[in-house]
Amino acid sequence: MSDSADDEPAMPGMDLPETPAQPAAQAGPYRVLARKYRPQTFAELIGQDAMVRTLGNAIARDRLAHAFLMTGVRGVGKTSTARLIAKALNCIGPDGQGGPTIDPCGVCEPCRAITEGRHIDVIEMDAASNTGVDDVREIIEAVRYAAVSARYKIYIIDEVHMLSRNAFNALLKTLEEPPPHVKFLFATTEVNKVPVTVLSRCQRFDLRRITPDMLFAHFSAILQKEGVEAEAPAIWLIANAAEGSVRDGLSILDQAIAHADLESGGGGGRIAAEQVRTMLGLSDRSTIAQLMAAILEGDAGGAIDLARAQYALGIEPVAMVRGLMDLTHAVTLAKVSRHEDPALSDDDRARIGDWAQKLGFAPLNRLWQLLLKGHEEVLRANNPLEHLEMLLLRVIYAASLPDPGELAKRIEAGGASALSAPPSPGPAAAGPESAAVAPTETPVAALTIRQIHHLLDSSGHQQLARQVHDEVRVIELEPGLLVFAAVPTLDGDFARRLGEVLRAQTGSHWQVRAGEGEARPSLKDVAEAKSADNDARIRELPVVKAALAAFPDARLVEDEHHQQRFQS
């Protein structure tokens, strides 16, 4: 009998299944990118050159502080920096004869032990789990004893702001005058919660947010090491989504690689920008651009249809508002030539540049304010889609209203065209200072009584203008409504005639009527009161008193330039 089944012919109908290939044994369990690429030297710590230079000079000059505080947003390297400082202070070099250095060797026993988290003299403590005074007392008792095998005994306290007030107070004396063999390294994301008495005893380092450019280069290098291809816009999307945090960015990159593997059926895969956009729940740029175009063109129905279509695809309403805000911000920056987004396609860049030329700062600012307020409402809403739809309608119909400066200019110009809303501007027809969009119905302008008088006077209705100036005492004045106190000198036909003229001049319906209630002084009353007040103040001037004493018959009169002068 043969030793191998392969030596015998297979019997018909009894073919055995092929033995599957055994996978190669993995070197170890998978480590996420944030841990795998944690910086092991100061050279690998990106974006913190100023801090590294300061530490290097302090070590070279033997001017080391006894306590360091690292602060900054999440994921910029606070805890990693603390571990690197511990390695730098305790490194003995490959030959065992080295001293503190800004470039720890990474191969000596202290460096390897600290890297692996097993050094007995480097104690890491999470202040979020050890907040009480008893935990700090253990540290105070332990610092009296010398390091077992290292040059310095180092305490790394993460999220130090979580310590209680009593714990901070117990630590103060030891923190100010620790034994020479002890160093404290604190890390926190909320430095404002750390007592000033603690801050004053530490050398503070504010770690910077990592810029998208640095993150793009860092993530590109990691992808190359991992053997994964990625589109440049996809990497830019991840770099921007990280918001300055390396750890957050690496977590997103890990997810993007897994997503690419699933899409491609295994292997290294290829990370596409659209996949990243879907993964992050971001609105599609082209759809947001279409939504913005519908807003600018005053197409309320089209804007709502686009929003509902995106919602059906799983895009959250608040994400659509953020997309519109980002686009508004981009257009505004493009007006001052300060918009640079490498993730943009040529079509998107051309579209933003076109809007930047056609839209003025005033409508863009109004659009931004409306979206900013709407973002908070949609974020807190029980039914976000309904709030989004109402926000879009509000933006379309409110963003076109003229600001006070523009309204004043229109009134100065006079005529019916001055206060009528401009026609809805399409992308090609909008002028540089055009509003974001014009509603189909003319909004009622909010006018003061002085503006109404000026409008009547400039449009040739001098009699009505004189009556408004001299006789009209306003009880209530709102857009489209004027209620005035009845006086005998105003005939019963005055209200009808004034309403018709205002309707003709503004293009909006006005209700003008006499009423009862407390009325404000007329424009003539205001002018006379102001003139009397000026006359009284002028008569109190010493030079005027002397002139009147010398010429008793003199009196103050107003010339054609509205300047008061003496007349005998």
Going by C-beta distance under 8 Å and a sequence separation of 6 or more, which residues neighbour residue 176?
201
Mode of pairing for the β-strands spanning 182-188 and 67-71: parallel
Return the closest-CA partner of residue 206 out of 190, 218, 219, 193: 190
> pTM above the 0.85 mark?
no
CB 331 within 8 A of CB 365: no
pLDDT at site 565: 52
Instruction: For residue range 310-364, list pLDDT tens digits in order.
Output: 888 778 899 899 989 988 988 888 888 766 666 666 677 788 888 888 888 888 8
Domains defined along the chain, listed by start: 33-206 (3.40.50.300), 212-280 (1.10.8.60), 285-406 (1.20.272.10), 449-520 (3.30.300), 524-567 (no CATH)
Give, for 484, the enclosing helix (H) or strand (E). strand 481-485
pLDDT at site 287: 81
Return the closest-CA partner of residue 508 out of 486, 479, 482, 488: 479
pLDDT at site 126: 86
Cα four-point dihedral sign 459, 460, 466, 472 = negative
pLDDT at site 218: 92
Return the closest-CA partner of residue 69 out of 81, 59, 58, 61: 81
Instruction: For residue range 400-441, list pLDDT tens digits in order.
Output: 555 555 555 555 555 444 444 444 444 333 433 443 443 434
pLDDT at site 401: 57
pLDDT at site 154: 92
Return the closest-CA partner of residue 433 out of 405, 391, 396, 392: 405
Instruction: For residue range 127-178, list pLDDT tens digits in order.
Output: 888 778 888 888 888 888 888 888 899 999 998 998 888 888 888 888 888 8
Return the closest-CA partner of residue 558 out of 545, 538, 238, 498: 538
pLDDT at site 69: 92
pLDDT at site 77: 87
CA distance 150 to 123: 12
Instruction: Name residue, tokens 């401009």.
Output: 422
Cα four-point dihedral sign 548, 552, 556, 557 = negative
CA distance 182 to 55: 17
CA distance 367 to 363: 6
- Give the DSSP per-residue string, 290-325: HHHHHHHTT-HHHHHHHHHHHHHTT--HHHHHHHHH
Structure tokens, 367: 């659009």
Where the chain has pLDDT below 70, the residues are: 1-28, 261-269, 281-284, 338-346, 399-446, 554-568
CB 253 within 8 A of CB 33: yes
CA distance 262 to 256: 10
Mode of pairing for the β-strands spanning 153-158 and 564-567: unpaired
